[in-house]
Amino acid sequence: MCTSPRPRRRALRAAGTLLTAAGLLISGCSSGSSTAAVSMAALPKSTPRALTPYYEQKLAWRECGAPGFECATMKAPLDYDKPDSGDIKLAVSRKKATGPGQRIGSLLVNPGGPGGSAIGYLQAYAALGYPASVRARYDMVAIDPRGVARSEPVECLDGKQMDAYTQTDVTPDNTRERDELVRAYKKFAAGCEARSAKILPHVSTVEAARDMDVLRSVLGDDKLTYVGASYGTFLGATYAGLYPDRVGRLVLDGAMDPSLSARAMNEDQTAGFETAFQSFAKDCLKRTDCPLGGAAGAGAAGAAGSVNGGTPSGGHGGHGGDAPSAGGRPAATPATAGERLKAFFQKLDENPIPTGTPGRDLGEALATTGVIAAMYDEGAWPQLREALSAAMKDKNGKGLLALSDSYYERADDGRYANLMFANAAVNCLDLPPSFTSPDEVAKALPAFEKASPVFGDGLAWSALNCAYWPVKATGRSHRIEAKGAAPIVVVGTTRDPATPYRWAESLAAQLDSGTLLTYNGDGHTAYGRGSACIDSAINDYLLKGTAPRDGKRCS
| Residues labelled as active-site residues | 230, 496, 524
110 and 130 Cβ atoms separated by less than 8 Å: no
Q: Could you write out the DSSP letters of every residue in 175-191?
A: HHHHHHHHHHHHHHHHH
For residue 171, count CB atoms less than 10 angstroms from its CB and return exposed for 0-12, middle for 13-18, buried for 19 or more.
Answer: buried
287 and 526 Cβ atoms separated by less than 8 Å: no
Q: How far apart are CA 109 and CA 121, in angstroms?
A: 8
Task: Find the helix or strand (DSSP H, E) in which 505 lies.
Answer: helix 501-510
101: left (phi over 0), alpha (psi -120 to 50) or beta: left
Long-range contacts of 441-446 (CB under 8 A, 24+ apart): 444/263
Give the number of other CB atoms < 10 A from CB of residue 453.
21
Q: How far apart are CA 523 and CA 376, in angstroms?
A: 5
The alpha carbon torsion through 503, 504, 510, 513 (nearest 10 deg) reads 170
Q: How far apart are CA 495 and CA 518, in angstroms?
A: 11
Give the number of other CB atoms < 10 A from CB of residue 63.
10
Three-state DSSP state, 493:
strand
DSSP 8-state symbol, 126: I
Q: How far apart are CA 30 and CA 25, in angstroms?
A: 13
Three-state DSSP state, 117:
coil
The alpha carbon torsion through 367, 422, 116, 555 (nearest 10 deg) reads 70
Longest dimension (CA), the chain: 79
Q: How far apart are CA 338 and CA 501, in angstroms?
A: 22
Long-range contacts of 314-318 (CB under 8 A, 24+ apart): 315/339, 315/342, 315/343, 315/453, 316/453, 317/453
Q: How far apart are CA 13 and CA 29, in angstroms?
A: 17
The C-alpha angle with vertex 516 and arms to 512 and 520, in degrees rounded to 5, equals 165
Q: How far apart are CA 230 and CA 507, in angstroms?
A: 13
Q: How far apart are CA 364 and CA 171, in angstroms?
A: 9
